Amino acid sequence: CSHNTAPSLYQQLGGADGIAAITDGLLREIEQDKRIVHHFADTDIDRFRTLLAEQLCQLSGGPCVYSGGTMQESHTGFNISLADYDALVEGLIKVMQRQQISISAQNQLLALLAPMYKDISYR
């Protein structure tokens, strides 16, 4: 019974539906972002969508197991900069804001993502 316990981050993000909406929203933001869209020119977007949703679900404590590659291997060859990372995070915040995710939950998710920067960048 979850009524008496604090909601998990997964619940605060809206569970499976919320995370699906965040993922789709972020893909749309990326699509419209001239700063970073070029990185995704050869990407299988359906696969990326599935794996990103899985990862956000697992990270936030949801009932998923991420089945994609490591962040290092998945981002090798893209030479991703801090500006690229910030651009993606900006899009993510916009989407979470639009979905009325609390600032506290937004920051919890961003704090879980931040340590990945070292694995994603300049590979």
Instruction: Report the interface residues with ligand HEM, using CB under 6 A.
Output: 36, 39-40, 42-43, 47-48, 51-52, 55, 68-69, 74-75, 78, 80, 84-85, 88, 113, 116, 120
Structure-token pair, residue 12 = 């605060």
Nearer of residues 1 and 123 to ligand HEM, judged by Cβ: 123
70 versus 102: smaller Cβ distance to ligand HEM? 70
- Whose Cβ is closer to ligand HEM: residue 12's or residue 91's? 91
At its nearest, how many Å lie between ligand HEM and the CB of residue 107? Answer: 14
Q: How far is the CB of 38 from ligand HEM (least distance, A)?
A: 9
In angstroms, give the least distance from the CB of 26 to ligand HEM. Answer: 10
Closest to 49 measured CA to CA, from 70, 20, 78, 73? 20
**Closest separation between CB of residue 2 and ligand HEM, Å?**
26
Task: Please classify residue 65 by burial: count the beta carbons closer than 10 Å to its beta carbon, then call 0-12 exposed, 13-18 middle and 19+ buried.
Answer: exposed
Task: Decide whether 47 or 98 has the Cβ nearer to ligand HEM.
Answer: 47
- Dihedral (CA of 57, 63, 68, 74) sign: positive
Residue partners of 49: CB distance under 8 A and separation at least 6: 23, 24, 27
